[in-house]
Structure 1
Amino acid sequence: MHIPSELKPIAWSIVIGGCLSASHVSARAENREEGLEEVIVTGQLRETRQLELPTSVTVLDSTAIAARGATNLEQLLNLAPNVNFSSGASRGRFVQIRGIGERSQFIDPVNPSVGLIIDGIDFTGLGLAASTLDIGQVEILRGPQGTAYGANALAGLINMTSRAPTETTEASVAAELAEYNGRTLSAVVSGPLTERLSYRLAARNQQSDGYIDNAYLDREDTNDIDESVLRGKLRYQVGDDLQLDFTALYLDADNGYDAFSLANTRTTLSDQPGWDRQQALAGSVIARWSGDERFTLQATLSTADSDTEYGYDEDWTYVGFHPWEYSSTDNYLRDKANTSADLRLLSTEASKLFGGRSSWVAGLYYRIESEGLQRNQDFTSQYDTDNAAIYGQLRTALTDALALITGLRLEQRTAEYDDSLAVHSGNEESLWGGNVSLEYAVADSTLLYATLSRGYKAGGVNGRIISASVTNPDIDSAVFEFDTEHLLNYELGIKGGWLENRLQAQLAAFFQDRSDVQAKQSIFDPSDFSFDDFLANAAGGETVGVELELNYLASDALRLFASAGWLNAEFEGFESTAHVDARDDANSIALAPVDLDGRDVAHAPNYQFFTGAEYSFTPNLMLRLELEGKDVFYFSNSHDEKSAAYELLNGRLTYRGNRWEASLWGRNLTDEDYYIRGFYFSNAFGNNPANLYAPEPYYQFGEPRVAGVSGTYTF
C-alpha cells in the first residue's frame, strides 16, 4: 500500500488532524471519564511528568504494548517520531534516533550511540534482550543525554521498566497463535510474601517459523524465532524510609538468520543458513532511602553477562552454484559483560538552595565492561572499558512561571584493545556533556521550553584495519584510530494538556550540530577480494527536524492518535572511500572516493508517521486501526542504494470479558513489501553468476501480512 505523491498532502492532513502521541494509545474505558492519564518519566535524574519535561520523549505503557501486540522493542520503534532501526539479523537490533546510530557490528567493537536500559540494567548494543515481557513502560528519549547517561547516549536513550510486585495476589496467562506457525505462551504471578516483602514472576516462550522459504534445503524455518524469557522481581520495604527492588532476568534466544536471496524474494538458496543467538543472565538492585530530611538517596547496582552468536551463509547459495564452487560462512561469538553502579542524591524541600528556589541532583557513576570476540576459528579479540563520572543538575525557579535547568557530567574513560593478530591499543579520554534549559509555564496546562544539550561518543581503534595493513600496504595509518564525536542539540518545544486533559500534545523543533562524525568506511583487499570495514571521522554533520505527538480522547468511545517526524540529516565535508569504480585486472580494484558533503546520512528518512484510532462499540468490544509509514532512506554511507517509501496498515479487534479478553489481529494487512536492510554489489565485486555478476542491490524484507489470535485470562 503506497500513497501516491499527489495524495500525500491529504494523508499528512489526516495524520496531523487526527492525532495523538503514541504514548498511552490504549487506556481502558474506566479511566476515560477523567480524561487522559498522567505520564511519569523515570529515565531522567528525577521522576518527572512527561508534559513537564523540557525534552522530546515518547512514552508507551503496558496497554499500548499489548494493543500493538509487540513482543520485542523493535515492534514499538515505529510509534516514535524520527526513530528508525536496521536489522541484518533476526530482529532490528540497531537503533537510530534522529539519524544517529549504528547499523551493524561485525569484527571491531562498537561504541553505541543509543543506550538501552532495562530495569536499571545496561543492555546497550544487545537488542535481543529488549523483550516486552511484563514491561510496564517504555521511554524513548530523543537527543543527547549527556548529563544523565554520558558516552552511550549521544543520540538518545531507551529506558524500559517492568511492572512492580503487587501488594495483593494476582496471576494471568496469555497465549497467541499466528501465521507462519507462530505461537507464544506467557504467564505472570505477583503478590505478597510477608507484610514487607512482595514478588513478581513472569515467563514467556515465543516461537515462529519465520517468513522465509529455503528452496535448496526444502525448509520453512531457517529464519525462525525461538525465544524464552524469565524475569523475577522482589520488593522489600525494609522500613518506612528504605525500599529495595531486586530484579533478575534470564534470556535464551536461539533464532535463525537466513534473509537474503539473489532473486530478491523471500525464497533463499543457502546451504548453511545462519543464526542469531543470545543467552543473558542479568540482575539489578535499586535502593531508595529517604531517612534524612535534607536529601533522598537513590542507588542502582547492576550486572549483565551476555553470550551472543551471529552467523550467516556469506555466499547465500550452495556449493556448485558458482562456477568455481565458491562457498563461505562467517560466524561471530561474543561474550559481553558489564557491571555498573550509580549513586544519586536528590534534594528535598529542606535543602533547596538560593532561598528555596533551586532543587538539585548530584551523582557518581562507575561502569566496567568487557567484550571478547571469536570470529570463526582464526581470530580473537578483547575489548575492555572503564567509565567513571560525576554529574549534577540544578533547577532554579526564576519566577513563578520561569525556570532555568543546568546540568553537567564529567566522565573519564579508558579502553584497552588486544587481538590475536598482535594488535594492541589503549586510550584514555576526559569527556564532558551537559544541558541548559529554560522553561516557561503558561497557566497550569502548557509548557514552553528551549534546551541546549551536549553529548559525546568516545573514540576508538580500528583493529581490523591495523591487521589488514600487514598485507595491504595501501592502507594509511591515519585510519587506525578514530576520534571522539560531539553533538550540540538546540531544541524548542511546546507541550501540554487541554480540553479538560482530553487532548495532550508535544511539538518540538531541533537543530543538531555534529563534529567529528564517526562514519563507517571500507577498504578493499585485492589479495582475497574482501572489504575491511573501519570507522573514520567526517568533518561534521547537521540535522534539522520537527517532531509531533498528539493524543485526543474525542469521546468516551473514540480515541484518535498520531505521531509524525520530519528530518533532514546531512554530512558536512565527508569523502567516502568505499565506492568501487572498476575492476582493473584480476588482482586489483580502483576505489573512487565520493564526496558525500550534503548527502543524507544512512537510515534517516525525511519523514515518518504513525496514526490511528480506537473505537469502543460497547464497553466490551473495541476496534483499533493503525497506519504507519516512512520515506525512502539510504541503507549505507558506503553506497547509494535506498529503501522504498512504504505505509503499513494494522488492525486489532478485542473483546473483554470479566476475567478474560480475546483479540483477532493483523499486521501489514495489505501485504506491503518493504525493506529493513540493503546491500549493493558493484561490477567490481558482483554476486550472481546467473547475470554474469552484474551490479545489483539486495534487500532484507520486513514482515509480510501476518494475522493471528491472542487471549489472556486473569485469575
Structure 2
Amino acid sequence: METAASISVLDESLIFESGAQHLEEILGNAPNVNYASGTARARYFQIRGVGDRSQFQEPLNPSVGLLLDGIDFSGIGSLGTTFDVEQVEILRGPQGTLHGANALAGLISINSNTPSDEPYHYLEGSVGDYDTYSLGGVSTGPITDSLLYRVALQQFYSDGYQKNDFTGDDDNADRDELTSRIRLRWLASERHTLDLGMTYIDMDNGYDAFSLDNTRTTLSDQPGKDTQESFAASLATNSDLHAATLETRLSVAKTDITYAYDEDWTFEGFDPDGYTSYDQYDRKRHSISAELRLLSNAQSRLFNDRSDWVIGAYHLGNKEDLDRTYTFAPFFTSKNDTDSYALFAQLDTALTDQLTLITGLRWEYRDTDYSDNNGVDFNPDDDMWGGRLALEYQWRDNTLVYGSVSRGYRAEGVNGAILANVESTDAPDVINALESVSTFDEETLINYEMGVKSRLLDNRLQARIALFYMDRDDQQVRGSLLIPQDGGATTFVDYTSNAAAGNNYGTEIEIDWRATNKLLLWANVGLLKAEFDDYVNVFEEDLSGREQAHAPKYQYATGGRYDLTEHLFLRIEVQGKDSYYFSDRHSEQSDDYNLVNASLGWEQARWRVVLWGRNLTDEDYTVRGFGSFGNDPRNGYVTEPYYQFGEPRVYGLTAAYAF
C-alpha cells in the first residue's frame, strides 16, 4: 500500500487455507501472472504476458526473476514449495534497478519465516485424495540471549493426477517433495545483525503428462521424470555505521535437474508404423552471488534532509553444465558460464511534504562463455542498463498516487543447436532459415505506469489500481524447428529469435473489503493486451498484430471469508482466466476456464484445522499445449494438438498444532 509500484502479496493465511503446497497453486490470486507447464511443477512464469515457457537444450535468459530468501533461482522455479513461507511477493514490471537482467518482466520473491525471539514449535499434517499426505514441523526461538534459530522440515507426497494403462501404475506422475530450512540470527550488538540461512529442497517427481488421445491416461513404457535437487546457503549482515546502514549478502547455490520423457508417449509395438524414443536432460547449475548496499539514515540524508539514498554493487556468477541423452542424436554436452557485475543507486527526494521523486539507475556488465561438443563457441560481453523514474503523491493520509517510467533489459544469446544443424542439410532455404536465428540480440523494455492505492471506509476497504504500457524493442521470441527422423519421429530444435517490436498494456485492480467484522471480500482483476507490432518469423509468416503467447486477456480471483462462529470460518473463491496461445510457433489455444475453490476451517489458540478443496467443479483445463507436429502413428502422424491438463478436483484435510 505504500510502494509506488504494482505489487501483490500472497500471505501465509492464503497458503494454509488453500491447502497449497506449491507456488503454482496460489498464483491464480495475482492479476496478470501466468505459468507454463510441460513439467511436473510450474517452472516458468509470465508477468504481464512476458516470460519463458520452456527450456530444453539451449541456455535460458530468464525474463521473470525468482528469489528464494534472497537467493537467485530464476528459470528453475520447480522448488517453489510453500511450507513455512511467510509471504510471496510479486513485483510487476521491470526491476532494472533492483534485480537487473533476470527481471525484465518482474520479480517473484518467496520469503520464509524468520527466527523468533520467543520459543515456538509447530506441527502440520495433511491428507487428501490421490494418496496425498504431508508432515512437517517447525521449531524456533532463542539459543542464547543473542542467538536465534528456526528449523523447518516437511515431506510431501502425492500419486499425481495421471495413470498409465501400459505399466498399470497410478503414480507415474507422482510428487515426492522434501523441503528443509535452517536459519540463524545473531544479534551481535544493538547495531549489528548477522543472518545465516541454509535450504535444501529435493523434488523427486515423475513426469508422464501427454497422451495421444488427450486424456489423463498414458501408455508410456518409459515414464519420464522431472527432478530438482537444490542446496543453497546465504550469509547476510546489517550494520548501523552511524552515518549510514551497511547491508551485505553472500550466497551460494547448487542445483541438479533431470528432465526426461518418453517422446513417443507409447510402448514398443504399439503400432507397426510407430517409433520408440526417449529424451533426457541432466542440468547442473552452480551459482555464487555477492551484494553490498549502503543506505542513508537520519544523519546522511541529502539536500537539506529531504533525500534518502542507496548505492550498491552486485555480482552473480552462474556455471551451468548440460548433458543430453537422446535416442535419435549423439550424446550432447554444453557449458554455459555467465558472470554479471552491477552498480546501482536510488535517490528518493521529498519535493514537498506530499510529493516524492524517485530516481534509480543500474549498470550491468555481463560476460558469457558458451561452448558445446558440436564445436559451438559463443563469448559475448555486454554493457546493459536499466532504471526507474517515478513521482508519488500522498493525498491526505489515505491515498497514494504515482506515475513511473522504468527500463528493463534481457541479454543476448546463442542458439547452439541451430548452429550445430546448419551443416546437416544441403537445402539452401533450410540453411538460410537456420543461419537467420543462430544468435539473438539483447531485448529492452520500457514500462510506463500510473497507479492509485487508497484506504477507505475507516481502513476497511483497500484498493490498488495500476495502468501500464510496456514498449518492447528487439523482443526475444521462442520458437522451434522440426527435423524429421527415420520411423516417424520428429526432433525439436528450440531457438530464440527477435521480433522487431511488441507492446503489452493493461491494468491490475486489487480490492480487499472488510464488509463486516465477520465478512472479508476481495476481488483481483488483471486485464491485458499483448501483441506483436512487427514480427516475421523464420518461416516467413507475418505475425504482426497477433497476440503473444501465454498472455490471457483477463484473469480474476474473487471470493470471501466468513466467520460462522468465533472459531469456525468458511472461505469460497472463484478464479478465472481467458484463453491464450500456447506458443508463438503455432495457433493452438487454451480454453477459458473458471475454478471454484473452498475451505471450511476451525481455529483455536493452538489448533488450526481446515477442510479444503480446489477446482470443485472438476473442470478440465490445460496448462501446456503443442500444435505443430503429429505423434500418432495410427493416423499417419498428421499434425494435431496435444495438451497437458491442470489440476483436477482435489480435496484434503490439513491440521496444525502450535506449542
State the TM-score bracket (shorter-chain normalisation): over 0.9
Aligned to 2:547: 600
Aligned to 1:496: 454
Deviation, 1:657, is 2.8
Deviation, 1:444, is 1.0
Aligned partner letter, 1:448:
V
- What is the percentage of aligned positions where both structures have the same residue? 48
Alignment partner for residue 265 of structure 2, among 303, 316, 321? 316
Aligned to 2:483: 525
Q: Indicate the SS of the match to 2:637.
A: coil
Alignment partner for residue 431 of structure 2, among 475, 488, 499? 475
Contact kept in structure 1, 2:360 and 2:388, CA below 8 Å: yes
Over 3 Å counting, the alpha-carbon distance change for 1:445 and 1:315 in structure 2 is: same
Alignment partner for residue 449 of structure 1, among 402, 407, 415? 402
User: C-alpha distance in 2, partners of 1:264/1:120?
Assistant: 40
User: C-alpha distance in 2, partners of 1:704/1:433?
Assistant: 42
Aligned partner letter, 1:475:
I
Alignment partner for residue 159 of structure 2, among 209, 234, 238? 209
Alignment partner for residue 146 of structure 2, among 189, 193, 196? 196
Deviation, 1:480, is 1.5
User: C-alpha distance in 1, partners of 2:535/2:192?
Assistant: 53
Structure 1 residue 266 corresponds to structure 2 residue 216: yes
Alignment partner for residue 382 of structure 1, among 328, 332, 335? 335
User: C-alpha distance in 2, partners of 1:105/1:522?
Assistant: 11
Aligned partner letter, 1:662:
V
Could you give the per-residue CA deviations for residues 113-161 of structure 1, whole angstroms, max 9, x where no partner exists?
0011111111111112211121112100000000111000000001111
Structure 1 residue 333 corresponds to structure 2 residue 285: no
Contact kept in structure 2, 1:441 and 1:447, CA below 8 Å: yes
Aligned to 2:525: 564
Q: How does 1:98-247 map to 2 (within 5 A)?
A: 98-247=48-197
User: C-alpha distance in 2, partners of 1:251/1:524?
Assistant: 35
Aligned partner letter, 1:406:
T
Contact kept in structure 1, 2:94 and 2:103, CA below 8 Å: yes
User: C-alpha distance in 1, partners of 2:236/2:460?
Assistant: 35
Aligned to 2:300: 351
Aligned partner letter, 1:713:
Y
Could you give the per-residue CA deviations for residues 615-645 of structure 1, whole angstroms, max 9, x where no partner exists?
0011100000010000000000000000000
Aligned to 2:637: 693
Contact kept in structure 1, 2:17 and 2:601, CA below 8 Å: no
Could you give the per-residue CA deviations for residues 483-525 of structure 1, whole angstroms, max 9, x where no partner exists?
0000000001000212221111100000000000110122333
Alignment partner for residue 410 of structure 1, among 346, 355, 363? 363
Aligned partner letter, 1:485:
E
User: C-alpha distance in 2, partners of 1:681/1:696?
Assistant: 7
Aligned to 2:624: 677
Q: How does 1:264-663 map to 2 (within 5 A)?
A: 264-290=214-240, 292-376=241-325, 378-473=331-426, 474-476=430-432, 477-526=435-484, 529-577=490-538, 592-663=539-610
Which range is displaced more, 505-514 or 376-385? 376-385
Deviation, 1:268, is 0.6
Q: Indicate the SS of the match to 1:372.
A: strand
Q: With the length of structure 2 as denominator, give the TM-score of the two structures.
A: 0.97
Aligned partner letter, 2:346:
Q
Which range is displaced more, 508-517 or 476-485? 476-485
Deviation, 1:692, is 3.5
User: C-alpha distance in 2, partners of 1:610/1:693?
Assistant: 40
Deviation, 1:659, is 1.6
Q: With the length of structure 1 as denominator, give the TM-score of the two structures.
A: 0.89
Deviation, 1:77, is 1.1
Contact kept in structure 1, 2:273 and 2:633, CA below 8 Å: no
Q: Indicate the SS of the match to 1:515.
A: strand
Aligned partner letter, 1:599:
R
Q: Indicate the SS of the match to 1:293.
A: coil
Contact kept in structure 2, 1:230 and 1:251, CA below 8 Å: yes
Deviation, 1:680, is 1.2
Contact kept in structure 1, 2:567 and 2:602, CA below 8 Å: yes
User: C-alpha distance in 2, partners of 1:314/1:55?
Assistant: 43
Q: CA RMSD in A?
A: 1.1
User: C-alpha distance in 1, partners of 2:485/2:384?
Assistant: 40
Structure 1 regions of 5+ residues with no counterpart? 1-50, 578-591
Contact kept in structure 2, 1:681 and 1:687, CA below 8 Å: no
